Amino acid sequence: MKLLAFETATEACSVAVLCDGELIERFELAPRRHAELALPWAGELLAQAGVARSQLDAVAVGRGPGAFTGVRLAIAIAQGIALALDRPLLPVSTLAALALRAPGERVIAAIDARMGEVYVAAFLREGDGLTAL
């Protein structure tokens, strides 16, 4: 499986390439710089992995919740690439992606939504995956 992934729902900008089980990634806390970083990073990571765009099996994207502009940017980039290559687009919950890294059977993931609010979700770990509660 060769996968290109974008996540820009928070102040962090993250781009990753998964190539036959090997993960190569770039991550930076970069408020207001996502548009500047995401595509160049994708090109660099694909080159580093030795993967041509035409070899991708799919494109994944963080679908939020999160900052409206950041979510919209990642979806636009990922959808454009997926459409151009005629590959599937795989939306991934930003909160579920955060929860996957946490230990335990029950996990609560939260993101600052600003103005005194949060985005929050609860999950139950089932094998390698999560089920939203």
* pLDDT tens digits along 89-103: 999 999 999 999 999
pLDDT value for 133: 94
CA-to-CA distance for 26 and 13, rounded, in angstroms? 8
β-pairing, 12-19 vs 106-114, is unpaired
pLDDT mean over 33-43: 97
Q: Is the pTM of this model over 0.85?
A: yes
